Structure 1
Amino acid sequence: MGYNHADMTLKEVQKDYTQESVSDNPRPIGPYYAYNDRYLEIRGGMFENFRGILTWISLLVFFIPFSSGFYCVDSFLILYFDETNNAVGHVISIIFYSIIFLPTSYLCFRYFRYIYRFELFTIRHIRVRFNRVTRQVYIQRPKYCGGTVVFKWEHIMPSNFGESGSDMGGTNMVNLMTFHPYKTGFPIAHSVGIGKNTYNPQDYKDEWEFIRRYMEHGPDTLPKPRLSTHLPMPFHGFSGHVSPMIHAAKNAPTFWMYILLIPVFLILLPFYTVGYFISECLCWQPRWSKVIRQAGKPGKPIPKETTLSDYPPKVQQAILESRLEWGVRDEKTGKWVDYGNG
């Protein structure tokens, strides 16, 4: 995508994408969590269709310190209550399992947490809230992924189609939105994927048009989306996993390949779906901050837009070191534009 390779043009970043209609069929594909006169809220994040794989891998890794700790405690309790005649064997057992438990527990919490927190013991779903009263966009993320950020609605750039992106049809991607530093003044871009994965490029335009018209004209002339729950549900992972499998079956080159995909359906689909549900159960859905919950109500303050000073000094330095990757090229002269980001 253009904005990932520092070759976005001046025309692309100057354009106000909120004023251009891209579809005659605005559709709320979702999943949506809230929809009213003040704001709508949609699921964010990417790779939800793969969620569950890391959960099973993590549970397998966690089994090592858990089982060793269990057997260590079990042997200790047997010795403590004097329920054995083989005290030496249980002492050896305690030492052996302690040797396994202590280092594996340390490795899990010190290093493996950077892996399992993609799906476990973190925010259940990233959420994106579009507030039409304050004309702002709020993105709720874990602190280790940048935390909650606030941007102006006018600064949003759809990235799957049009001048700011490329045709992403057939790639099973979510609808990508970007806030480029040329518009926001933040040293680097913020991007977020919203909604469901799709193979149909028109879905990107229809949902973006739905959100655009909601923000610009209100909800009166738009179809009301079906709201999803924040709670974990066994069927949440089914649709996300079955869609790419059905797509693979439809595009099977031969009849025999189609037949071979049937056992894949029968094995992988339950595997993914159960893993997805476990992941949801072991995560939580935090509330928005009070200022964002009240944003748009009469007499309530407007949330402050995100700036570099909102981050710790070390993070600020890392962000500044990355700012040169977000250059803008003047398509008329071919030269890079100095917009205070370098």
Structure 2
Amino acid sequence: MYIGEYLFWFSSAIKTATRKKLKMGYFSGDMKLSEVAKDYSKESVSHNPRPIGPYYAYNDRYLEIRGGMFENFRGIITWISLAIFFVSFSCCNAGFQIALQLYKDGGVNIVSGIFAIIFLSIIFLLFSYLFIRYFRYVCRLELFTLRHIRVRFNRVTRQVYVQRPRYCGGTAVFKWEHIMPANFGETGLDMGGTNLVNVFSFHPYKTGFPVAQSVGVGKNTYDPQDYKDEWEFIRRYMEDGPQNLPKPRLSTHLPIPFHGVEGHIRPMIHLAKNNPSVIIILMLIPVFLILLPFYTVGYFISECLCWQPRWSKVIRQAGQPGKPLPKETTLSDYPPDVQKAILDSSQEWGVIDDETGELIDYGQFKRPKKKASRKRKTKIAKQAEKPIKESSDD
């Protein structure tokens, strides 16, 4: 399910006219200079690097892990889509059967038959219109699209490749040094108990792209230490290589009937452990017997109706001797109308000087230089311990 990726990209690439029509404002993604200028690839955050996964590839050149947020909810949109298709198909089939019966009977009950055909035709056309006009944008979040988002970390080229559908931003290429953990550390919050995947960000201060881009990797977890352990595993792989690291168990790209089970059982176990009461246990019984098979089958159907494309040739060969280095993602990689929308959203990603509390014009794109509020400025000044210099790469 790509609803998280879609909403994030939609908020960044929405046209100005559409934003006004939907009455969407701009949020404040401002961050302190000390947060965005730091090289997080050099700092160890755990003494227990673990490959939680699922991983699709692991060798001396690159590792590849599943990306995507809200994978544990995959299957819901599939069942809704199949229900809409079933209604349309049933109306079409019933209308055809009635017309065939009228033809065989030679005009018996012709009035009621014609009325039924007209009614069924209206239902069929209405559902077909709603699907073609609107719901196809929802359906594609987990049907007839990429089976899984994949994230490849290439330690030879020192780049990160993100494979996403076009409506979620498409395939993107970033420098490894620009990565920023979002679930912990200076840039993140305490995500313990939230059942989220490990999220990494690429801020425009480092990338030069007008807006920030994010990607979630791995499995959902309630344990904040899991985020640190897996990030440490990826970090050490990129910095030191696969030596002295546990080798991850590799998963398959192919649809497997039980792929969707774990994502739903873990929340149930977590709920039972934190609320060990009879009422909770009784509530979980119908969930386990009814909803779990429902989600699991929907997940499997979604996987079967999707495909897993290959990486582009330049990414597949990246890091091999004599092969070109994949080009980093820039604004020019997108159509002119999308470029304009992205530039319009760039004002959301400000960088604040730790000492003065003023927004810094960091030269990646033109934007008005504004001052933070007095209350916020005072708070930032108190938190700042010393001036942070911008890195020479930026």
Q: Distance in 2 between matches of 1:39 and 1:243?
A: 29
- Aligned match of 1:47 in 27, 45, 70? 70
Change (3 A) 1:36 1:86: farther
Q: Distance in 2 between matches of 1:278 and 1:29?
A: 25
Q: Deviation of residue 5 (structure 1)?
A: 3.8
Q: Distance in 2 between matches of 1:224 and 1:83?
A: 69
TM score, norm. by length of structure 1? 0.94
- Of 136-145 and 68-77, more deviation after overlay is shown by 68-77
Q: Distance in 1 between matches of 2:142 and 2:304?
A: 10
Superposed CA RMSD in Å reads: 1.7
Residue identity in the other structure for 1:85? G
Residue identity in the other structure for 1:121? F
Residue identity in the other structure for 2:317? Q
Change (3 A) 1:299 1:83: farther
Question: Which residues in structure 2 correspond to 1:18-57 (within 5 Å)?
Answer: 18-57=41-80
Q: Distance in 1 between matches of 2:214 and 2:131?
A: 30
2:118 aligned with 1:95: yes
Aligned-partner SS, 1:40: strand
Q: Distance in 2 between matches of 1:325 and 1:304?
A: 26
**Is the 2:56–2:252 contact (alpha carbons within 8 Å) kept by the matching residues of 1?**
yes
Residue identity in the other structure for 2:106? N
2:196 aligned with 1:176: no
- Residue 129 of structure 2 corresponds to which residue in structure 1? 106
Q: Deviation of residue 97 (structure 1)?
A: 2.5
Q: Distance in 1 between matches of 2:198 and 2:128?
A: 38
2:106 aligned with 1:85: yes
**Is the 2:147–2:306 contact (alpha carbons within 8 Å) kept by the matching residues of 1?**
yes
Q: Deviation of residue 293 (structure 1)?
A: 1.0
Residue identity in the other structure for 2:167? Y
- Of 23-32 and 255-264, more deviation after overlay is shown by 255-264
Q: Distance in 2 between matches of 1:294 and 1:78?
A: 62
Q: Distance in 2 between matches of 1:304 and 1:72?
A: 55
Percent identity among equivalent residues? 73
Q: Deviation of residue 55 (structure 1)?
A: 1.5
Q: Distance in 2 between matches of 1:260 and 1:14?
A: 48
- Residue 85 of structure 2 corresponds to which residue in structure 1? 62
Q: Deviation of residue 315 (structure 1)?
A: 0.6
- Residue 269 of structure 1 corresponds to which residue in structure 2? 292
TM score, norm. by length of structure 2? 0.82
Q: Deviation of residue 306 (structure 1)?
A: 0.4
Aligned-partner SS, 1:128: strand
Question: Which residues in structure 2 correspond to 1:184-223 (within 5 Å)?
Answer: 184-223=207-246
Q: Distance in 2 between matches of 1:260 and 1:189?
A: 41
- Residue 147 of structure 1 corresponds to which residue in structure 2? 170
- Residue 245 of structure 1 corresponds to which residue in structure 2? 268
Q: Deviation of residue 77 (structure 1)?
A: 5.6
**Is the 2:30–2:348 contact (alpha carbons within 8 Å) kept by the matching residues of 1?**
no
Q: Distance in 2 between matches of 1:78 and 1:289?
A: 54
Q: Distance in 2 between matches of 1:183 and 1:72?
A: 60
Question: 1:231-268 deviations in whole A, cap 9, x for unaligned?
Answer: 11111000011111111111126333333322222221
Aligned-partner SS, 1:163: coil
Q: Deviation of residue 93 (structure 1)?
A: 4.4
Q: Deviation of residue 308 (structure 1)?
A: 0.4
Q: Distance in 2 between matches of 1:261 and 1:99?
A: 41
- Residue 166 of structure 1 corresponds to which residue in structure 2? 189
Change (3 A) 1:302 1:84: farther
Q: Distance in 1 between matches of 2:324 and 2:92?
A: 51
2:336 aligned with 1:318: no
* Runs of at least 5 residues in structure 1 that lack an aligned partner in the other structure: none
Q: Distance in 1 between matches of 2:337 and 2:123?
A: 35
Q: Distance in 2 between matches of 1:73 and 1:23?
A: 65
- Of 104-113 and 13-22, more deviation after overlay is shown by 104-113
Residue identity in the other structure for 2:29? A
Q: Deviation of residue 281 (structure 1)?
A: 1.1
Q: Distance in 1 between matches of 2:324 and 2:227?
A: 33
Question: 1:151-203 deviations in whole A, cap 9, x for unaligned?
Answer: 11110001101011111111101000000000000000000100000000010
* Runs of at least 5 residues in structure 2 that lack an aligned partner in the other structure: 1-26, 368-394
Aligned-partner SS, 1:232: coil
Aligned-partner SS, 1:33: strand
